Amino acid sequence: MPAKRIIQLGDPVLREISTPVVDIVAVQPVLTDLRDTLHEFRRTHGFGRGISAVQIGVPVRVVYIEFEGTSYSLLNPEWEFLSDQKFRLWDDCFSFPGLLVWLERSETVRLRYLDETGTPGSLEASGALSELLQHELDHLDAILAIDRALPGNSLCTREEWQRRYSG
Ligand SMILES: [Zn+2]
């Protein structure tokens, strides 16, 4: 299936609370679209590790991640733990790829979810995977990285970010 258009900042669908998955079979095409769309984004932008279904216009609680060679299909993910210990990072988003946001995330998280077959699972992560999970689960609750921008000079265009912080 071809990659879908990624919903951009300003489209009200990004502010819809995603609804739980009830039919595992019906959600399979969504997972395929998320995978294809992630691959296409990475091909055209050179980065990208995770996407939520709402970002292709389907507000159901599904997240798809490819991280360090492992793919994760997370249906109805729910937090079990978010550490009080935080770290700060420049975050970005497929829905506003030209903008970086300086924000805070929990260092360590644990969540439970259903996989693509409907089997319950649990996932614990710290560091880069942890912040990625927090970014994607936020989408399911209509929260965007810009909503979490720390006070001060916390928004940066990608052009300026590359000039200042990368390489
Ligand atoms: Zn995002």
How far does residue 59's CA lie from ligand 1's centre (Å)? 13
Ligand 1 centroid–CA 51 distance in Å is 7
Which regions of the chain does DSSP assign to beta strands (E)?
A: 50-52, 62-67, 70-82, 86-91, 99-106, 108-114, 120-126, 155-157
Give yes or no: 136 in active site.
Answer: yes
63 CA from centroid of ligand 1 (Å): 11
Question: Of residues 40, 116, 131, 136, which has the active-site annotation?
Answer: 136
Interatomic CA distance for residues 125 and 109, integer angstroms: 6
pLDDT score of 2: 82
What pLDDT was estimated at residue 130?
98
User: In this structure, are residues 130 and 124 in contact, taking their beta carbons and an 8 Å threshold?
Assistant: no
Q: How far apart, in Å, are the Cα atoms of 150 and each of 72, 105, 144?
A: 29, 11, 13
Q: What is the pLDDT of residues 110-155, one digit of tens each?
A: 999 999 999 999 999 999 999 999 999 999 999 999 999 999 999 9
CA distance 48 to 14: 18
Closest to 73 in 3D by CA, of 33, 110, 108, 41: 33
- pLDDT tens for the chain, 167 residues: list them: 689 999 999 999 999 999 999 999 999 999 999 999 999 999 999 999 999 999 999 999 999 999 999 999 999 999 999 999 999 999 999 999 999 999 999 999 999 999 999 999 999 999 999 999 999 999 999 999 999 999 999 999 999 999 998 86
Q: In one letter, which amino acid is 48?
A: G
Report CA(146)–ligand 1 centroid distance (Å). 10
Maximum separation of any 2 CA atoms in the chain, in Å: 46
167 CA to centre of ligand 1 in angstroms: 24
Q: With respect to CATH, is domain 12-165 assigned 3.40.50.200?
A: no
